Structure 1
């Protein structure tokens, strides 16, 4: 088993006034040669957008983009004609493929919106752009990792152009569980959203990250209760 720990206070940080963004991996003006990606996981940004503010229309291509709101409402518009509100308890995916333009704004004028923006390198270039959004509340299982993204909608969640699986876990204090990797050669990146957990023998607190690979399974133990996102991806060279 190999591991790499990314403590929350070691992430890159950008303060744009209206946007507070923490970068687990190199992004924009933050560059760390030791933290460019974890396998096919290229970007994990922890963003807070001020009331009424947001990202103007901008382009993407050949990237799988996943948004997971943690608090508040995020308004999305894109060049495919989609207009939607993404809320806490939902997940959105976009395959940028041959190219798209989109904007993201805080729908509310009185409270910030907090969300994770995640980019995954696709396994196929220049695909037709696509969009999907679902509520994950119906997929929830107590004290288990439940699938929210998988190849070919294996768990009734969403999918992207990559052999990737996203799981969410909400665990009571002292719950112990093994995360079993779905495919040999993959790695899994754990990101603690709330609480504390001991994962592969490492104590992790809120917004800490841990990458694990070259193992068939990983031991997870919740401390003080924990909400954990697990992102399993191929370990690209």
Structure 2
């Protein structure tokens, strides 16, 4: 098993006043040639947006964009006609494909919104843009891996154009479980949202991450009550 450990405070830090963003991989003004991606996982931004502020209308193309709210309400609008609110317990996906314009704003006048913005390089380019969001909180599984994203339209969670699977793990202290990879050759980027966990000899605290590859499975143990996001993705970039 091959691993790469990313401590929370090693991430890129961008504080624009209204936006405070932590970049796990090179993004905007943060450039680290050793932190460009983990396989097809290109962007993992941990964003906090101030009250009544947000990202104005901007373009994307040929990227799978996933948003996971952690606190507060995020308003989304796009040129496909969508105007929605996503909140903690939801997940949103957008296949940018041939091109999409969208905006994201904090929908609250009195508290910040916190969310993860994740970009996945797709295995199919120039697709018709699409949007989806679902509530995942109702199907949460205590002390188990809850699938929230896959490549399959009829499977649990949202779907994207890539052989990727995301799971949320809400583990009580002392619980452990084996994660088995869905596809040979994939890797898993484990990101601790809350708590403390251990994989092998590596202890992960809040917002630490561990990239795992060249294995078919691994054991995850919660050393505190923990919430953990596991992102399984292909390690080879599309040709």
Classify the TM-score, shorter chain.
over 0.9
Report SS of the residue matched to 1:124.
Answer: coil
Equivalent position of 2:174 in the other structure? 174
Report SS of the residue matched to 1:138.
Answer: helix
Equivalent position of 2:164 in the other structure? 164
Equivalent position of 2:31 in the other structure? 31
- Give how far 1:169 is off: 0.4
State the distance in 1 between where 2:160 and 2:228 align. 21
- Give how far 1:170 is off: 0.3
Instruction: Say yes or no: does 1:78 pair with 2:44.
Output: no
- Give how far 1:212 is off: 0.2
State the distance in 2 between where 1:141 and 1:156 align. 13
State the distance in 2 between where 1:137 and 1:161 align. 23
Please give the per-residue CA displacement for 1:62-105, whole angstroms capped at 9, x wherever unaligned.
Answer: 00000000000000000101000001000000000000000000
State the distance in 1 between where 2:20 and 2:196 align. 23
Instruction: Say yes or no: does 1:57 pair with 2:39.
Output: no
Equivalent position of 2:91 in the other structure? 91
Equivalent position of 1:188 in the other structure? 188
State the distance in 2 between where 1:54 and 1:189 align. 27
1:1-237 correspondence to structure 2 within 5 Å: 1-153=1-153, 155-237=155-237
User: Structure 1, unaligned stretches of length 5 or more?
Assistant: none
State the distance in 2 between where 1:155 and 1:140 align. 15
- Give how far 1:155 is off: 3.8
State the distance in 1 between where 2:153 and 2:172 align. 27
Q: How many corresponding residue pairs?
A: 237
State the distance in 2 between where 1:134 and 1:160 align. 14
- Give how far 1:33 is off: 0.5
